[in-house]
Structure 1
Amino acid sequence: MREVWKKIWFVLLHVLQSIGVLAFVALSWMAANFLTKTLYKVYGTPSSPYLVQMIDALLGVILFILAMMVLGLFIRPRQIAMMTSIIDAMRRIAKGDFKVKLDTNGKGRNEFDKIIQSINDMAGELGQLESMRQDFISNVSHEIQSPLTSIRGFAKALRNRDLSEEKREHYLEIIEGESRRLSQMSDNLLKLSYLESDKPSFETCRFRLDNQLRTVVLAGEPQWLAKGIQVDLDLQEIEIVAVEELLNQVWVNLLHNSIKFTPVDGEISLRLIATEHGAEVTIEDTGIGIKEEDLVHIFERFYKADKSRNRTAGGSGLGLSIVKKIVDIHQGDISAESRVGQGTRFVISMPYSFQQE
C-alpha cells in the first residue's frame, strides 16, 4: 500500500511541475502582452497584425528565458553544493571510509534525494562487509596461531636429547594432530569460499537419501563403537534430486559432532520421514548439549560453544557453517534444539528436487 501511495505522489508531483511550467509560460506571455501594449500606446501599433504577434511571441520567449535564468541563480548553488557533497562522499568511500552519511530530507521527491539515499545505503552495506572481513581475518589468524604455537613449542622440545622415547612419541603425535587440524581448516575455508562464490555450479542426481544416511553411519562405525554409543536408525525409503556429494558432507559433519560431544555409552538417533514439502532428517544425541545463549550462534564461522573441548578435539568452528550453507543452497532449512546435559537435536528439511538458480 505504501508503494502505491509513493507512485501516486510521484505522478501528482510531475503533474504539478508541468502545471507550474505552463503557468510560467502563461505569465510570461501576459507580461509580454502588457509591455507591448504599453509600448504601442507610446510609439504606436505596427500596421501588420502578423508583426504584432511576432513581437509579442518573441518578447514572451525572452521574458520566460530571463525568468528561468533568475530562478536558476537561486537553485543552482544548492544543486552544486549537493553534487559536491555527493562527489566527496564517493571519494571517501573509494578510500575505504564507509562512515559516510549524507543529509537528506528523506522524502525522496527528486533525483538528488534518491542518489543520496543510495549512497548512504551503499556505505552502510560496505561498512558491514568490511566489519565482517576484519572479523574473518581476526578469527582465521587466531585459529592458525594456536596450532602453529603448539607445533613450534613441541618441535623445540624435541631437540632435547635427554627426552624419553615415550614423551618424544607424545610430542610427535601432538605435532601431527595440529598439522592435521591446519590442513582441515584450510580445506574447510576453500570449501566455504567455493560455496559462497557468485555462481557455483553443481551436478545433481537422483538417489536414495535413506541409503546415503545409512552409508554415513556405517562409515563412522569405528568412532561411535569406540565410545560404546548406540545408534538407532528409523529411515523411510525416499528418493531426492540433489547434489549427493554436498549432502554427504552435511550428514558427516552432523554425525561427527554428535559422536564427539556424546559421552561414553550415549545414544544417537537418526530419523528420516517424508513430509508434504520434502524429506525431513532428524539427528538427535544425548550429548553435553549447548547453552541457550550459544545456540543462536552455532552456524556462524569459527563460533565454538565449548571452546576448550573443540580445541582438544581438533574443531575449527567451520563445520556447522558449511552445513548451513549447503542446506541453504538446496533451498532447505536447518534448526537446532538443545539442553545442557541432555543433548542436541538437529532437524533438516530438504525439498524432493533441487533446482539450481
Structure 2
Amino acid sequence: MNREPGFLRILARFMLVLLVLYLSWTAAYFITAAIYSRMSWTPHELFVYLVDATLGSFFFGIISMTVKRFIQPREQHFFTEMIDALKRISEGDFHINLGWNFGRRNGNHDRTHPYVQLVDSINDMAANLKAMEELREAFISNVSHEIGSPLTSIIGFAKALKDDNLDREQRDRYLTIIETECIRLSKLSDNLMKLAVLDSERHPFHPSSYRLDKQLISLILACEPQWEAKQIDMIVDTDIVEINADEDLMGQVWVNLLHNAIKFTPQGGSISVSLSTNSDQALVCITDTGPGIDEQDQQRIFERFYKADKSRNRTAGGSGLGLSIAHKITEMHSGSISVSSKVGEGTAFTVLLPLQEEAIKGNSNHEMSGSVIKKGASYKP
C-alpha cells in the first residue's frame, strides 16, 4: 500500500513520455507526407520509415528540452541549496534549516517524496551536529576550568616555595596543598578516562552472578577510615540478594555514591544503606543527613561537571563526574538511578537493577538488619 503512490507516479511519467513520443512521430509522419505530395514523389517504404523516425525523434528532443527548461531551474536551485548547506556543515556551521516545496499534492506535502526526505535528513543531521558541538564546547569549558583551578594553585605555591625565608611549617603547608591539588588532577584524569571508555563502549563488560549484599558491606567497611574520621554512624540493612552484573563496574557505582554521602554528611551525622528486592528488581538506597539538594538542581545532578553547590563542591575537591559515571554504568546494566532530597533534610540516592527471578530471596533473610556499624567495628558476611 505504501508503494502505490510511487508506482502511480512512475506510470504517469512513462505514459506522458509515450504520449509525447507518439505525437512527435505523428507530426513527423504528416509533415513528410505533405512534402512528398508536394514534390509528387513516392519514396521507398524503408526510406519513409527512417525519415519519419529520425524527424520524430528530433521533435521529441525539442519538446523534451523545452519542458526541461521550465523544470530544471527548480531542481537546479534545490541541489544548489543542498550543496551549499553541506559545505556550511563541513565548515562547522550547523545553523541549517532548509525548506522544501517538493511533493506537494492536494495542498499537502508528501513526506515520502525523495527530495523531502533528503531535506529532512540534512536538517536532522545539522541539528544533531549542533547539539554535539554545544556539548563538546561545554565539555571543553568544564575540563579547562577543572584543570585550570588546581594548576593555578600548584604554580602559585611552587613559586612561593622558592622563597628561602619560608619556615618549615609554611613550606610543609604549601607542599600539602600542592599534593592535594595533584591528587585532585589525578582523580579528574581517571574519571575522564572512565567516561571516555564507557562512552566508546569499548569497556570490557563481564556480567556474572554474585552477592550484592556482600559487595556493599565490603565496600562500606573499606570506607571505614573516611566515615570514622567524621564520627558518622553507618546504618546498614540488607537482604541476601544475588544479581547478574559486572561486579567491578557496579563497585564503582557504590564507591561513588558512598564517597559522595560521606563527603557531604556533617560531623556526627549518619548514613543509611539499605538493600531489598522489589518485584523483579534489586533496590539499593543510600541516604545521608547532609545539607540536601535544591529541587531545581536535582533535575541536572547526573549531568557531567554539574555541581549543585559550586562553592561547596570546589572546597570538597569534587569534579562533578562521579554521579555521571554512576548513571552511565547503571544504564549499561538496564537499571536506573534517581535522587530524592530536601534542603536541610539530607539526600537519598536510589538504584534499581534487574533481578534474576531465581535470585529473589524475599524479606525473611536479613544480614545486619537494623544494625549500626560503630567506629572500629567489623563485620564478616
The TM-score with structure 1 as length reference comes to 0.87
In structure 2, C-alpha distance between the alignment counterparts of 1:231 and 1:303, rounded to whole Å: 27
Separation in structure 2 between the aligned mates of residue 16 and residue 256 of structure 1, nearest angstrom: 66
State how far apart, in whole Å, the 1-side matches of 2:211 and 2:201 are: 29
Q: CA deviation at 1:36?
A: 3.5
Q: Indicate conservation of the 8 Å contact 1:280/1:348, yes or no.
A: yes
Query: Partner residue of 2:29?
Result: 36
2:75 to 68, 72, 79: 79
Q: Which residue does 1:70 correspond to in 2?
A: 66
C-alpha contact (below 8 Å) 2:292/2:345 kept by paired residues: yes
Unpaired runs of 5+ in structure 1? 1-6
Q: Distance in 2 between matches of 1:31 and 1:212?
A: 86
Q: 1:258 to 1:63 in 2, by over 3 A?
A: same
1:146-295 alignment to 2 at 5 Å? 146-295=149-298
Query: 2-side partners of 1:217 and 1:12: how far apart?
Result: 66
- 1:315 is matched with which residue: 310, 314, 318? 318
Judge conservation of contact 1:236–1:272 (CA < 8 Å) in 2: yes
In structure 2, distance between residues paired with 1:194 and 1:172: 33
Q: CA deviation at 1:277?
A: 3.0
Cα distance in structure 2, aligned partners of 1:349 and 1:105: 49
Shift of 1:24: 4.4
State the structure with bigger RCO (CA 8 A, min sep 6), 1 or 2: 2
Q: Aligned with 1:97: secondary structure?
A: coil
Q: Is contact 2:206-2:246 (8 Å) kept? A: yes
Q: Deviations over 1:211-249 (max 9, x none)?
A: 101111111111112222112212111111111111000
**How far apart are the structure 1 equivalents of 2:16 and 2:121?**
34
Q: What are structure 2's unaligned runs of at least 5 residues? A: 103-108, 357-381
- Counterparts of 1:104 and 1:227, CA distance in 2: 65
Q: Which moved more, 1:182-191 or 1:228-237?
A: 228-237
Give the C-alpha shift of residue 165 in structure 1. Answer: 2.6
Distance 1:200 1:74 in 2: 58
Amino acid at match of 1:25: L
Equivalent in 346, 349, 361 of residue 346 of structure 1: 349
What corresponds to 2:91 in structure 1?
A: 95
CA distance in 2, matches of 1:70, 1:34: 17
Partner letter of residue 137 of structure 2? Answer: Q
State the alpha-carbon separation in 2 of the partners of residues 244 and 128 from structure 1: 34
Q: Secondary structure at the match of 1:196?
A: helix
**Farther-moved stretch of structure 1 (294-303 vs 225-234):** 225-234
Q: In 2, are the aligned partners of 1:46 and 1:52 still within 8 Å (CA)?
A: no
Cα pair distance change 1:110/1:67, threshold 3 Å = farther
Distance (Å, rounded) in 1 between the aligned partners of 2:85 and 2:9: 32
Deviation at 1:54, TM superposition (A): 8.1
Q: Secondary structure of the residue that 2:273 maps to in structure 1?
A: strand
Q: Given the alignment of the two structures, is residue 26 of structure 1 paired with residue 23 of structure 2, yes or no?
A: no
Equivalents in 2 of 1:80, 1:26: separation in Å?
Answer: 26
For the pair 1:144 / 2:147, whether they are aligned, the reply is: yes
Number of aligned positions between the proteins: 346
- Once the 2 structures are TM-superposed, how far is the Cα of residue 335 of structure 1 from its aligned partner? 0.8
- Per the alignment, in what secondary structure is the counterpart of residue 200 of structure 2? coil
CA distance in 2, matches of 1:151, 1:26: 84
- Give yes or no for contact 1:227–1:264 (8 Å, CA) kept in 2: yes
Q: Deviations over 1:301-328 (max 9, x none)?
A: 1111122221121111111111111111
Q: CA deviation at 1:209?
A: 0.6
Q: Is the 8 A contact 2:237 2:273 kept in 1?
A: yes
1:3 corresponds to: none
Identify if the C-alpha distance between structure 1 residues 12 and 51 changes in structure 2 by more than 3 Å, giving closer, same or farther: farther
| DSSP-derived class of the 2:286 partner | strand
Q: What CA distance in whole angstroms lies between the structure 2 residues aligned with 1:117 and 1:326? A: 34
Who is 1:11 aligned against? 4
Compute the RMSD of aligned alpha carbons.
Answer: 2.7
Corresponding letter in the other structure for 1:90: L
Instruction: Give the structure-2-normalised TM-score.
Output: 0.82
Tell me how far apart the structure 2 counterparts of residues 53 and 16 of structure 1 sit (CA, whole Å).
Answer: 33
Once the two structures are aligned, what percentage of the paired residues are identical?
46
Relative to structure 1, the CA distance from residue 39 to residue 303 in structure 2 (aligned partners, 3 Å threshold; closer, same or farther) is same
Tell me, what secondary structure is at the counterpart of 1:336? strand
Q: CA deviation at 1:201?
A: 2.8
